[in-house]
């Protein structure tokens, strides 16, 4: 996994946590759900990159 990918995925996950917290604080369920979705996307991208790395090592 490239450093740029790691940083991008972490930023997406962190941004999602921020959105979720803002949605929770304001009672905005849509924003909260969007934040949770962004976190899940970041996690999936990280998992995909790890799979790619595993195949590159063989």
Separation of CA 17 from chain center: 9
> Using an 8 Å Cβ cutoff, are 31 and 21 in contact?
no
What's the pTM value of the predicted model, to 2 decimals? 0.79
Q: What is the pLDDT of residues 2-58, one digit of tens each?
A: 778 888 888 999 999 999 999 999 999 999 999 999 999 999 998 988 888 888 876
Question: Which pLDDT does position 1 carry in this prediction?
Answer: 56
Distance CA 7, CA 34 (A): 20
Question: Which pLDDT does position 5 carry in this prediction?
Answer: 82
- 29 φ, ψ to 5°? -65, -35
> Using an 8 Å Cβ cutoff, are 51 and 19 in contact?
no
Q: What letter does residue 27 receive in the DSSP assignment?
A: T
């Amino acid at each position: 996994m490239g450093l740029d990918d790691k940083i991008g995925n972490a930023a997406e996950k962190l941004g999602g946590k921020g959105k979720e917290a803002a949605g929770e604080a304001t009672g905005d369920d849509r924003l909260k759900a969007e934040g949770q979705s962004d976190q899940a996307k970041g996690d999936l991208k990280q998992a995909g990159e790890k799979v790619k790395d595993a195949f590159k090592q063989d």
